[in-house]
């Protein structure tokens, strides 16, 4: 019982810190609220889709920005998708970089775009590892017989 209480606290505190540090926003709460006994893995499923999709987009972006003649519309299209998906799961810091990224696309600013690509890769890897940690704590909690506090 002690173990469960501890894990619950750990989970609550960790989640709170992610919000405080701006990694996650209200939309992530919305996702959690859509999860219930009939859909117990909803958040993990959506976030997993986000990981897959993001990795694909990052590859496409890297490729597009390596071209001799950069097709900024193509780059922008990928960033638009990335902005959308990060917004849909509440990955706030990723979304913010995408907004700046799109501005550079509009200006056809190569340096700005390359800088944003690095930034978005960085923010993405941060939020990915944070979410993976979050899910690990949840798993431990459930394995210890506890339930995820709503």
Partner 1 sequence: MGISTESQFHVLAVDDSLIDRKLIERLLKTSSYQVTTVDSGTKALEFLGVHEDDQSNSDIPSVSPNTHQEVEVNLIITDYCMPGMTGYDLLRKIKESSSLRNIPVVIMSSENVPSRISRCLEEGAEEFFLKPVRPSDVNRLRPHIMKTKLKDQQEDKQENKEEELGKPEFQSREEKEEQQQQQHHHLQQQHSNGNKRKALEEGLSPDRTRPRYNNGLTTVV
Contact residues toward partner 1 (CB under 8 A) are: 27, 30-31, 33-34, 39, 42, 45-46, 49-50, 53, 80-81, 83-85, 87-89
**In the complex, minimum distance from the CB of residue 48 to partner 1, in angstroms, rounded to a whole number:** 10
Taking CB atoms within 8 Å and a gap of at least 24, the contacts of 145-150 are: 145/4, 146/4, 146/5, 146/7, 146/8, 148/11, 149/8, 149/11, 149/12, 150/32, 150/33
Shortest Cβ distance from residue 63 to partner 1 (Å)? 18
Nearer to partner 1, 15 or 92 (CB): 92
**Distance of alpha carbon 5 from its chain centroid, rounded?**
28
Least CB distance from residue 79 to partner 1, whole Å?
A: 12
Q: Which of residues 33 and 147 has its CB atom nearest to partner 1 in the complex?
A: 33
Nearer to partner 1, 91 or 137 (CB): 91
CA–CA separation, 50 vs 34, rounded Å?
A: 17
Minimum gap (Å) between residue 49 Cβ and partner 1: 5
Q: State which residue, 102 or 130, has the beta carbon closest to partner 1.
A: 102
**Residue located via tokens 């505190």:** 13
Q: What is the DSSP letter of 67?
A: S
Q: Nearest 10 degrees: CA dihedral of 113, 111, 70, 94? A: -10
Q: Do residues 104 and 80 touch, judged by C-beta distance below 8 A?
A: no
Q: Toward partner 1, which CB reaches closer, 46 or 126?
A: 46
Find the shortest distance in angstroms from Cβ 122 to partner 1: 21
């Amino acid at each position: 019982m002690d173990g469960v209480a501890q894990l619950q606290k750990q989970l609550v505190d960790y989640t709170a810190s992610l919000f405080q540090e701006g990694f996650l926003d209200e939309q992530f709460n919305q996702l959690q609220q859509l999860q219930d006994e009939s859909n117990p893995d909803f958040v993990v499923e959506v976030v997993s889709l986000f990981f897959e999709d993001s990795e694909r987009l990052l590859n496409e972006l890297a490729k597009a920005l390596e071209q001799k003649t950069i097709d900024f519309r193509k780059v922008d299209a990928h960033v638009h998708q990335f902005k959308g998906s990060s917004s849909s799961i509440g990955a706030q810091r990723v979304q913010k970089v995408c907004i700046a990224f799109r501005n550079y696309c509009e200006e056809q600013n190569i340096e700005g775009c390359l800088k944003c690509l690095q930034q978005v890769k960085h923010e993405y890897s941060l939020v990915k590892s944070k979410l993976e940690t979050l899910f690990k704590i949840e798993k431990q909690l459930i394995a210890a017989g506890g339930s995820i506090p709503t």
